[in-house]
Each structure stands twice: as structure tokens, then as C-alpha cells.
Amino acid sequence: PFPVSTRHYSSARAADIRNGDFSALKVQQGRLMDTLHQTCSFGTGKRWGSGPTETGMSRLALSDADKQARDWFVETTEALGCKVTVDAMGNIFAVRPGRRGGPATFAGSHLDTQPSGGRYDGILGIQAGIEMLNVLRDHQVETEYPIGVVNWTNEEGARFPMSMSSSGVWAEDIPLEQAHNLQEVGGGTATMRSELERIGYLGSTPASYRSMPMAAHFELHIEQGPILETEQQKVGVVKGVQAYKWFTVDVNGRDAHTGTTPLKSRADAMLLAARLITHSHRLATAHGALASTGILTLSPGSTNTIPGHVRFTLDVRAPADATVEAMEADLKRDFAALAAGDDIDGLLAHSTPGKPLSVDFRTDFVSPATVFHPDCIAAVRASAEAVTGSAGLVRDMTSGAGHDSVYASRRCPTSMIFVPSKNGVSHNPEEYTSSEDCAIGAEVLLQSVLRYDRLRAA
């Protein structure tokens, strides 16, 4: 395995690499970061500081900016010797041949961002995959099996409201039709399918693990939380992902005049929505869960009309599936009670009860708690300890966020690598991870993939 050219190495060094000492295969931090920041010109977002890279990203899935990033990805991976396949969800698989055939071991993540996101979420994982290809070429490393980099479509679920929608289709956990028909948030009429067609990324390969099998999936990602920074550690070995569900709640009242409708005659959908959102926070506290409303629209939307309809999203998370289920049951029960006029939040003791309203509760997306594969976890831990030189700088973690690795793990051995997020901030233009930490993460990714490749051969 790993025949390394003698132009680069003494035979002793080549033997080290063959024996699993990858220390000669160094990620080039400058190249990695230059490339990352250059490609952030595709969909530059809000400025938050005065420095040239102190802007966030706004690269919604399947937007024009996403197309630019995709075109760049295809061109770059082809130039690095990969064969590129685009599937029916626009997932892009770039595969570099190995000594033998068979499914590739993949590094994967996503190039789409939140509407007001940062430069690292998803992007770092892809750029580290590209850097991996660069390092393998620099050192003329031939792997046992093919090595791939995959860019998954609409991981964020920000534009089309199912996170990880396209790895979900690949895993055959989300029906293709359902994903294709997802409509963009914010009232537009575009669907995933129409946008895939528009930007030229509706591929002909079926979106399925059967058509594009993977030997394993490794994903480098920023932590998006505060733990590594707080604990002054460098690398998280991600053993699993917490459970979450996304809901849409419709509150149906009655449009009425703000000036002529007494409080007691109102069916004020905005007032009830406000109570429901407040109550969801109370329930989350009681359950040790999270509840968040990120989208809310009301109609008709006029200063002097009491809204007859409000629609909002609820994102509910907890480490255990049972907690999310219990939250859901409580939310449904209590929302119906509040709509009917029961004073379970104690508000009506201090204010005027209005007329009953109705509440509809729809489940949009379910991501059960996920446990990653021990072989991949072991490869990440060994690589993290090798790269940082210290087990004390490495910790096991559970991810609070969902990732394409969740769906990948249903169909192949999978694990993830986390690097520190400044102040734990993510889904925010100010999201930041130092160049040093990005490079450490990229090197852990490279080694994890190579370790797994060796493991397969053994």
C-alpha cells in the first residue's frame, strides 16, 4: 500500500508511511486557507469586521452562488485526477482511483450555507477534502482503494426546509420525490428539482447508496459549540449526533381591525403564537431539551389588522429520541389547550381571554439520535492523537447539529472530526476557526481516510 515516489522520500520514510506513520504527509495551511477564502467570493455575506476575510457567507443551496462553488469544485477535483459523478439530488462525488477498484473512502461535507452564515460550516470539510487530494498528489501517494470527496446538496435545510435532504435521499431514508418537491422557504415557488435543473446539477445517476456506494464517510466540521474552546482542546472525536425534529405550526384565528375589535372578541393568531413560542421554551427547560423558532410569517401583515394566521417553525432537539418524543407530545397537548383557552401558562389571570383558535402541527423532518461506527471513531482518535501529539488535546463529543454523516452512517461506517469554534458561535457571519485549527482538522481528516484505507486492505 501507499507506494510513495522515491523522488520525495528516502525508502525509510516511505516505509514509515506504508506502516501508518503519516507524519510526512503535511497539510499546507496556507494553501488550504487561501483556497477556502478565495472560494468565499462565491456568495459573500455580511461584513462583521474590517479585515479582508471578515465577512460571512450567504450561499443558499442551489442559488447562483452555489452553482459557482459547485463549478469550482468540479473543475478543481477533475484537475486533481478525480472522476466526477453528479446524482439526481445534485450531490457531487469526486473519486480518485486507488490501486484496486471498489467503493471509495469518502471525505464529505457541504458547500451551501445559512442565509447569514459563516465561512467554515460545511465549507471547511470540503476544502479539507480538496487539500487531502492535493497532499496525495504532492506526495504521489497511491492509496489501496479509491478516495473520494463528496459535496452534499442542501445540508443546511435553510433554503429547502429539510436538513441533510440529499444525503437523506442517497441513504434512501428520504424519498426522491419528497426532496425534489421541497419548496423554498419565504414564499418563493422554486423547488429543489426546479433549481437543480436551472443551475444544471440535476444529474443522471440515481441518488442512492446503491448507485454510489461508499466504503466509509469521514467529515471534518467546526464544532459550532463552545466545548473545545472552553476545555482548551483541539480536536473532537464525534461519536454520534443528538436527535431532532422540525415542525411547522399553523395558528388560525380571525383577521380583525386593531382599533374596533375589543380584546375579548379577538382571535389574535399573533398573540397565541407568542404564547406558544414562550411555552415551548418552558417545556424545553423542563425536558432538558432545546426548542427554537427560526421562521415566522403572519398574514395579512398590516399594522392595523390583527393577524388571522401565523405560521412558525419549531426545531426541537435532545440527546435521546425519547426526550424529543416527550417534548412533541407535550407541545401538541399544550398548544391545543392554549388555543382552546386553557390558562396553562397563567397569562389569562393577568389579561383578557379572547376567542378560541385552532392550531395545526405538522412534522417536516425527523433525525433520530445517531451513533457512529467504532472503526471510524478509532481512525479519527488515532489520527487526532498523532496530529496533535497529545491525547489530552482530544476529546470524545456528541454533535448538537445534524450533519450529512448522520445519513451516511446508515449506509457505511462513518465518523466526524470537530475543531474549535470561537465563542461557540455558528450560523452567524462571525463564525470563526483559526487557520491553525483548520489545518489540524484537515490533517486529522487526511490521516483518518488513509488509516481507514489501510484497515480495508488489512
Ligand X SMILES: NC(=O)NCCC(=O)O
List the grid coordinates of 61.
Answer: 443551496
Of 234, 266, 403, 454, which one interacts with ligand X (CB under 6 A)? 403
Mask for 311-350, x = binds a copy of itself (CB under 8 A): --x-x-x----------------------------xx--x
Write out the binding residues for ligand X, residues 128-147 only, by CB under 6 A: none
8 Å CB contact between 338 and 272:
yes
Mask for 241-280, x = binds ligand X (CB under 6 A): ----------------x-x---------------------
SS3 state at 58: coil
Q: Is 290 one of the binding residues for a copy of itself (CB under 8 A)?
A: yes
Cβ at position 237, least distance to ligand X in Å: 17
Cα–Cα distance for residue pair 303/254, rounded to 1 Å:
15
Q: What are the distances in angstroms from CA 396 to CA 240, 372, 416, 418? A: 9, 12, 10, 10
Cβ at position 369, least distance to a copy of itself in Å: 12
Place of cell 474549535: 420
Which residue stretch of 27-35, 282-290, 386-394, 437-445 sits at the interface with a copy of itself (rule: CB under 8 A)? Answer: 282-290
Of 351, 363, 390, 434, which one interacts with a copy of itself (CB under 8 A)? 351
Q: Is 156 one of the binding residues for ligand X (CB under 6 A)?
A: yes
Q: Is 296 one of the binding residues for a copy of itself (CB under 8 A)?
A: yes
Count how many residues are written for the chain. Answer: 458
For residue 363, list its beta bridge partners.
247
Mask for 79-108, x = binds a copy of itself (CB under 8 A): ------------------------------
List the grid coordinates of 322.
Answer: 425519547
The 3-state DSSP composition of the chain as helix, strand, coil percent (nearest 5) reads 35, 20, 40
Cβ at position 164, least distance to a copy of itself in Å: 11
Q: Is 260 one of the binding residues for a copy of itself (CB under 8 A)?
A: yes
- Select from 171, 145, 71, 143 the least CA-distant residue to 111: 71
Write out the binding residues for ligand X, residues 90-129 only, by CB under 6 A: 121
List the grid coordinates of 381.
Answer: 482518535
φ, ψ of residue 313 to 5 degrees: the values are -95, 150
Residue 403 contact partner, candidates ligand X, a copy of itself, none, CB within 5 to 8 A by sort of partner: ligand X
Write out the binding residues for a copy of itself, residues 359-398 only, by CB under 8 A: 364
Q: What's 205's DSSP letter?
A: B
Longest pairwise C-alpha distance within the chain = 89
- The footprint of ligand X (CB under 6 A) covers 121, 155-157, 163, 224, 257, 259, 304, 401-403
